[in-house]
Amino acid sequence: MQDQSRPIALVILAAGQGSRMQSDLPKVLHEIGGAPLVVHGIEAGLSLEPARLIVVTGHGSDLVEAAVSAHNPAAQTVQQTEQLGTGHAVLQAKEALDGFDGDVLVLYGDTPFVRAETLEAMRAARATHDIVVLGFNAADPGRYGRLIMEGDALLKIVEAKDASPEELDVDFCNSGLLCADAATVMRLLENVGNENASGEYYLTDVPELAKAEGLRATAIACDEAETLGINTRGELAKAEALFQANKRNEAMENGATLTAPDTVFFAFDTYLGRDVMVEPNVVFGSGVTVENGARIRAFSHLEGTHVGARAVVGPYARLRPGAELGNDTKIGNFVEIKAAEIGEGAKVNHLSYIGDASIGEASNIGAGTITCNYDGVFKHRTEIGADVFIGSNTMLVAPVTIGDGAMTGSGSVINSDVPAGDMAIARAKQVNKKGLGARLMAKLRAQKQAKKGQ
């Protein structure tokens, strides 16, 4: 029935308040793997290369729209000002679908684990059916809507609170996802009533209305874990644990070594190359790519960072957004890098802060070095060339440039450019006052003793 080349539109329902979350934040903005729930739904659907992406917002619409736009500027958002059920929510996308000749796939902003392969299977089932619903065999059907089947034909979907005892015995349950011709869905939804226990307009009425018109509906099955919806903090925690377990397994299957997998935490978009070694208690924020053969040592935190091949990071390192590490670089213990490019083979080994800077190839940054990049109003850059040696405890007061092959003396405060090959020493001359240390210490101890006697 369906030409597989037809375009597809995604309609993602993200209007719910999520009152059981006990939160001022809209439910779909709670995060798993460092990304809002609604972003996970968007990412799953993008595998279908949709012609249109529509997100239906409601509670906290401004916040949800901002999050959606930040993640995917091409997405359209429409508002459901009254929450009158899932059918009513999908109808809010009618105007945004005006002139669209293709299929629509309805997804949910609080259901983050649906796999791209499952969505492809739904689309493939459209070849022989007008309406395709995604179902699963529930271990505990409980509150789920039941899919009433006859062979491969879906006769109707019955909500648990409206089901008969016989229908409640069915364990093939509704996930809520639906795929069909966009015009057909909108036309059928216009005929949906609200004569049910909740007084809402259910999307689930569509298959039965389609059957009444002689259209064919079916349901395909997926694993129950894919349909996990998030309604409470407890479910959010369980979903995070499931997400992390999946990401850890994926990383190891793709060739990374995690020495203590349960202690490593991933973001939704973390990428680890082959033969990457990740030691215990490492946290990856969003936007991290680690190339082949790199080693991330224990207790490090990375976000918005690219780590080159064979680089070594940590232990106890923090890489903030904009950190770009070249191949064979070394970032050591208690080092923080922010908005800085570290050239191939360069080293920043101990107790240093490098922010708004670039460091050339094979340069060595001594312990305790700080790029003083902020003047209280503006950020300024530090440019360090290749083969530079920065002595320990150097303060580089930006904006400043250190030329290739230059050096700085330990304990220097560098506030002027250093030409290539020069050595800069900027510290007060040492003066030794004979016996003053002993005399001063004796005086202080006497004062302390006098206070104790009072």
Q: Which residues are catalytic?
A: 350
Provide the β-strand partners of residue 337. 319, 354
Q: Kindly report the CA angle at 49 between 44 and 53, in degrees rounded to 5?
A: 75
* Cα–Cα distances in angstroms (integers) from residue 178 to residues 97, 104, 234, 253, 349, in the given order: 16, 8, 27, 32, 54
- Radius of gyration in angstroms for the set of CA atoms belonging to the chain, rounded to a whole number: 30
* Cα–Cα distances in angstroms (integers) from residue 76 to residues 40, 263, 453, in the given order: 16, 38, 77
Tokens representing 151?
Answer: 């062979």
* Residue 317 near residue 331 (C-beta atoms within 8 A): yes
* Residue 279 near residue 259 (C-beta atoms within 8 A): yes
CA-to-CA distance for 364 and 371, rounded, in angstroms? 14
* Residue 130 near residue 216 (C-beta atoms within 8 A): yes
Closest of 281, 283, 257 to residue 270, by C-alpha: 283
Provide the β-strand partners of residue 137. 172
* Cα–Cα distances in angstroms (integers) from residue 186 to residues 53, 107, 181, 183, 437, in the given order: 16, 15, 9, 5, 88
Amino acid, single-letter form, for residue 50: P
